[in-house]
Amino acid sequence: MPHAQDMIAPAQLKDFDPSQVLIVTTGSQAEPRAQLSLAAINQSPTLKIQPDDLILYRWGVCAAVGLCWHGA
């Protein structure tokens, strides 16, 4: 489970080396205003996808946050 001290606000992204950041974003069924959907069409004010970025997409329902962070 991630710890609060390991998290940064979206406005702080510019202060970090992109190769050292893992972004976790949510959005159900590619909602038009979800950050990943906006970033995919270069419309997100915060999230900019670069050609060498690795994107892992998980679909399906995660019933509880604790279930999503297992096995690492």
Averaged over successive runs of 10 residues, the pLDDT of the chain (72 residues) comes to 77 87 72 81 87 79 55 42
Task: Specify the pLDDT at position 57.
Answer: 75
Task: Say how far apart CA 50 and CA 39 lie, in whole Å.
Answer: 10
pLDDT tens track for 41-58: 899 888 888 898 888 877
Q: Which of 48, 69, 47 is nearest to 58 (CA)?
A: 69
> Can you give the pLDDT at residue 70?
45
| Cα distances (Å, whole numbers) of residue 17 to 11, 29, 30, 32, 70 | 14, 30, 27, 28, 26
Per-residue model confidence (pLDDT) at position 31: 74
Q: How many CA atoms lie within 13 A of 64 on its CB side?
A: 4
pLDDT for position 48: 86
